[in-house]
Amino acid sequence: MYGISNCDTVKKARKWLEANNIEYTFHDFKKSGVPQSNLEAWLNALGVETLVNKRGTTWRKLSDSDKADIESGAKTQELLSEHSSVIKRPVIETPSGEVITGFTPSQLEKYA
């Protein structure tokens, strides 16, 4: 699981995983950065529209040119690494190789 430890959605996901005895490893973007190989895989699996949280304050604070560069793919990885809070959280890589972003229990019940 990847995200930011003080994110409410990440907290809910971690609590649910622990309550259902599902082992996971947590990688905090703020402390350890965004792993570039993972970011590329997430973009390939989910696309920009799903991976980027356009409802948050980080997105709203970006310049129009940065937003356009993210959406067009021109500098997507670079800008998502620089502004990791714009990545929809959590990002979960499942044992089957599926990539999930955001959290609803139904997404993970098959792993419980």
Cite the active site residues. 7
Helices marked H in the chain — which ranges?
8-19, 29-32, 36-46, 48-51, 57-61, 64-72, 76-82, 105-108
d(C-alpha 28, C-alpha 92), whole Å: 12
